[in-house]
Amino acid sequence: MQAKIEELLKKKEEAKLGGGKERIKNQHDKGKLTARERIELLVDEGSFEEVDMFVKHRSTDFGLEKQKYLGDGVVTGTAKIDGRPVALYSQDFTVFGGSLSESHAEKIIKVLKLAMKTGIPVIGLNDSGGARIQEGVVSLGGYADIFLLNTLASGVVPQVSVVMGPCAGGAVYSPAITDFIFMIKNTSYMFVTGPNVVKTVTHEDVSFENLGGAETHASKSGVAHFVNENEVEAIASVRKLMSYLPLNFMDRSPKVEFDMSSITPQEELDSIIPDSPNKPYDMKEIINLIVDDNDFFEVHSHYAENIIVGFGRIGGRSIGIVANQPEVLAGVLDINASVKGARFVRFCDAFNIPLLVLVDVPGFLPGTEQEWNGIIRHGAKLLYAFCEATVPKITVITRKAYGGAYDVMNSKHIRGDFNFAWPSAEIAVMGPKGAVEIIFKKDIEKSENREAEIENKLNGYIEKFANPYIAAERGYIDDVILPRDTKIKLINSFSLLEKKVDTNPRKKHGNIPL
């Protein structure tokens, strides 16, 4: 028996070496951790339970039968993060460049199925050269099998992808289906076709970094939700993200202990809105004052910055926040902002995370570029997402709520549970100046002093309509609140809505305007 135990221990040590010491050194020389080092940093100490350590590939072509490594280029298993269970896989670039074979794919699929059966999140640490070319269509089939499981798991358990090296060709579509993508500056990239193919087809000269690097996908394409300076920072960010997420679609939004006696009126909020309705301010200042410990975990911070999305806690309860940002494009809704907001709202709704919506929106961005690229269709995605969501939804209008954007930003009409407004709120079909020029067009044209007439009509319009009280008279606003009391109002409202039940009509699924 002792000999058999020694053989087992020897095999385990062999598996832990992956492609060998020289390749591990190469990985470190590139500023990258190994697959197992990444797992050790990510999960609670001693919690990782590995599965399929002894799997090898079954290919016999192109001399592969002479090159077999235990684990076949991916480490899989379960672990805990802050005491809560997760399933995970970590691709090992030291073995065949982390390339995906039939066996490699089967290991990932097993973990995805296990996660769905047990109701725990999945984290994928991606570092792969793509399909193992020597296996041909078998490796392509492995990718498709993974894509199917990613799709079936969507909305069942949270799925997080961390791109820690190359991710090209078909490999990009697994992370793309998952809920959140992390990338690392200078060491990770994603693209469907690489720079050489791009040059051949379009004659464009582009670097790996500019085509599909972390900063490109974080700011231009919106593919990456988070961009980090290095792997250690990325892994710490993943741990923080997981603290806000439930384990599965039946689980409740996480809640931590909170000292209610610590709540006092936040008088800074009373003076945060500028006197001029056209002067910008930073909505993040309001968010940081409202959330517990001034701790807001922003998602997509470099993309479509005219809308803010992310996670925070209010009264210890994990919530999702969607907010217009007056500091960027006056907080207007455009194509990218609409899509960014819609995807975040749908994620929160899928996993029972309550939503707080902070509104200061002058409308949708006008122009031929927006219209020709489908602002109608893309804006409808955000509308659809809010309409469909059945989680607790609370809206606070801080200043402008104009036109169709008022409707879209979780208005009472699309099942907002509590809709509050600050005294500075302006709820109207459009901005005062535009409204006056339409309503009083004939009077203005007849006037000898056009500017004075506009000014006169404008003052009257602002006094009558640029406020929250007409909407409040009709019940579209539940209460006009003092800004300083916002947090306690939100804590009480979310507490009341904790056991909220709302449903959508029975159907196979809706047809969101993709």
3-state helix, strand, coil in the chain (%, to 5): 45, 20, 35
**What pLDDT is stored for residue 62 in this prediction?**
64
Q: Which two tokens stand for residue 4?
A: 């058999």
Confidence of residue 65 (pLDDT cuts 50, 70, 90): low
Q: Does residue 301 share a domain with residue 182?
A: no
Quick check: helix, strand or coil at residue 20? coil
Q: Which of 325, 481, 492, 496 is nearest to 409 (CA)?
A: 325
CA distance 498 to 333: 30
Burial class (CB in 10 A: 0-12, 13-18, 19+), 458: middle
Active-site residue, selected from the candidate residues 169, 212, 379, 403: 169
Residue 448, pLDDT > 90, answer no
**Each residue's pLDDT tens digit, 151-189:** 999 999 999 999 999 888 888 999 999 999 999 999 999
Task: Name the catalytic one among 119, 141, 155, 170.
Answer: 170
Q: How far apart are CA 215 and CA 339, in angstroms?
A: 19
In whole angstroms, what is the distance from residue 29 CA to residue 35 CA? 15
Tell whether 137 and 194 lie within a shared domain: yes
**Alpha-carbon gap, residue 56 to 233, rounded angstroms:** 32
Q: Which of 405, 421, 425, 472 is catalytic?
A: 405
- State residue 235's pLDDT score: 98
CA distance 324 to 337: 9
Q: Are residues 416 and 438 in the same domain?
A: no
Residue with tokens 């009280």: 469
Rounded Cα distance, 320 and 304, in Å: 17
Q: How many domains does the chain have?
A: 3
Tell me the whole-structure pTM to 2 decimals: 0.94
139 shares a domain with 24: yes
Residues 388 and 240 in one domain: no
DSSP state of 497: G
Judgement on whether residues 278 and 362 belong to the same structural domain of the protein: yes
Residue 249 in domain? no
Query: Sorting pLDDT into bands at 50, 70 and 90, what band is 96?
Result: confident
Mean pLDDT (whole number) for 286-305: 96
Distance CA 142, CA 485 (A): 55
Residue 366 DSSP code: P
Question: Residue 149: inside a domain, yes or no?
Answer: yes
Please give the residue range of the domain that contains residue 438. Answer: 432-465
Q: Are residues 342 and 278 in the same domain?
A: yes
* CATH number for 213: 3.90.226.10
Q: What is the chain's mean pLDDT, rounded?
A: 92
> Stretch 87-112: mean pLDDT, rounded?
92
In a domain, 508, yes or no: no
- E strands of 362-471, at which residues? 393-402, 418-421, 426-428
* Assigned domain for 107 exists: yes
Please compute the mean of the pLDDT values over residues 41-51 and round it to a whole number.
97
- Same domain, yes or no: 155 and 84: yes
Give 437's pLDDT tier (boundaries 50, 70, 90): confident
Q: Is the pLDDT of residue 445 over 90?
A: no
Residue 60 is predicted with a pLDDT of: 64
**Number of other residues whose CB lies within 10 A of the CB of residue 401:** 28
Q: Determine, yes or no, domain membership for 255.
A: no
Asked whether residue 329 falls in the same domain as residue 191, the answer is: no
Task: Mark whether 355 and 333 lie in a shared domain.
Answer: yes
Final residue in a domain of this structure, among 244, 279, 294? 244
What letter represents residue 260's amino acid? M
488: number of CA atoms within 13 Å, CB side? Answer: 13
Are 112 and 221 members of one domain?
yes
pLDDT tens digits for 309-333? Answer: 999 999 999 999 999 999 999 999 9
In a domain, 505, yes or no: no
Maximum C-alpha span of the chain: 107
Measured distance CA(137)–CA(143) in Å, rounded: 10
Residue 80 lies inside a defined structural domain of this protein: yes
Q: Is 169 a catalytic site residue?
A: yes
State the DSSP string of 59-85. --STTGGG---TTTTEEEEEEEETTEE
Q: Kindly state whether residue 512 falls inside one of the protein's structural domains.
A: no
Whether 170 sits among the annotated catalytic residues: the reply is yes
What is the pLDDT at residue 61?
Answer: 67
pLDDT at 64 over 70: no
Q: Are residues 296 and 223 in the same domain?
A: no
71: pLDDT strictly greater than 90: no
16, pLDDT greater than 80 = yes
Query: Which pLDDT does position 362 carry in this prediction?
Result: 93
The Cα 74–Cα 91 span in angstroms is: 4
